Chains A and B, each alone.
Chain A
Amino acid sequence: MKSVLDCLQNKKILITCGVGGVGKTTVSAALAIKAAMIGKNVIVITIDPAKRLATSLGLKSLHCEPTDLTENLASALKQPIKGKFSALIPQSKNSFDRLVRSLSTSESVIQKILNNPILSTLAQEYSGANEYLALEELSYIEGLKKYDLIILDTPPSRNTLSFLSAPQTLSRFFEEKLVRWLVLPTNKLFSGGMKKVFGILENLAGQGFLKTLIDFGESMVVVQDTLLTKLQNTNALLKSKDTGFILVSSTNPDSADELRHFLQQIHNHNYSFEGVILNRSLSHLTKTQTDADTEPGVRVLLQIIERETQATRILKHHLTPELFFSKLPELSRDVHGLEDLAHVTEHFDH
Chain B
Amino acid sequence: MKNYLISPLKNQYKANMHSHSTCSDGKLTPEELKKAYKERGYSVFAFSDHITVREHNDLADESFLPLTSAELDVAQQGEECFNLRKAFHFNIISRDPEHFEQVKCLIKNFSLEYINEVIADAKSKNYFVTANHPNWSLFTEEDFLSLDGLDGFELYNCITANFGGALSFTPELYLYLLRNGKRIFSIGADDNHSFCLPFSHPQNDSFGGFTYILSDKLDYKSIINALDNGDMYCSMGPQFFEAYTQENELYIKTSEVKQIGVIGENGKASALNAVCGNTVNSFTADISDMGKFFVLHIVDTNGKHAMTRAFYKGEDF
Co-complex (A, B)? no
**Residues on A facing B (Cβ under 8 Å):** none
